[in-house]
Amino acid sequence: VERTLSIIKPDATKRNLTGKINAKFEEAGLRIVAQKRIKLTKAQAGEFYAVHKERPFFDELTDFMASGPVVVQVLEGDSAISKNREVMGATNPADAAPGTIRAEFAESVGENSVHGSDAPETAKEEISFFFAGLELVG
Ligand code: GTP
Ligand code: MG
């Protein structure tokens, strides 16, 4: 089994979609083995998304991620990283396959409801950014 870091973003927590999004994960066979609701500062959002700091949308992205509560979670399952990205759908909801979280819930390419790690190395780093080992209960 594999683990990946997921974030339910402020546009989704604001619209009370946490349960509907979690149902999508669980229906896909992903188990939520850790979860907490937090509010990031802009600096923390910038640290988390440091890989994007040269991108033109970095300031907008970090403002958005600090604009309201997020739910950070660890999902576990077979091929959890790729399975989660499948369930999420494409970054831009206009390109997301029907039935995916972003197709159903995302508002725009920026306010796109969820984040998911993109590789084993980033999953490991992102999980330890938010969680101590003791908080993960498989
Ligand atoms: P994450 O799971 O959030 O990392 O999404 P991703 O891997 O599908 O996309 P990527 O890593 O390329 O971009 C990270 C995040 O930056 C996206 O999820 C969007 O929230 C945001 N983003 C990407 N492109 C744009 C853009 O053109 N404009 C704005 N405002 N935000 C963008
Ligand atoms: Mg990404």
What pLDDT does 57 receive?
97
Give the position, in ligand 1's atom list, of the atom nearest the Cα of 116: 2
The residues that are catalytic are 115
Closest CA to 15 of 85, 109, 107: 107
Closest residue CA from atom 21 of ligand 1: 110
Return the percent helix, strand and coil in the chain, to nearest 5.
45, 20, 35
Tens digit of pLDDT for each residue in 88-122? 999 999 999 999 999 999 999 999 999 999 999 99
Tens digit of pLDDT for each residue in 11-29? 999 999 999 999 999 999 9
Specify the amino acid at residue 134.
L
Q: Tell me, what's the ipTM?
A: 0.94
Query: Which SS3 state, helix, strand or coil, does residue 105 take?
Result: helix
Residues in the chain: 138
CA of 85 to the centre of ligand 2 (A): 10
Q: Is the CB of 112 under 6 A from ligand 1?
A: yes
What pLDDT does 125 receive?
97
What residues flank ion ligand 2 with Cβ within 5 A? 118
Percent of the chain with pLDDT over 70: 100
Q: Is the CB of 116 under 6 A from ligand 1?
A: yes
Closest residue CA from atom 22 of ligand 1: 110
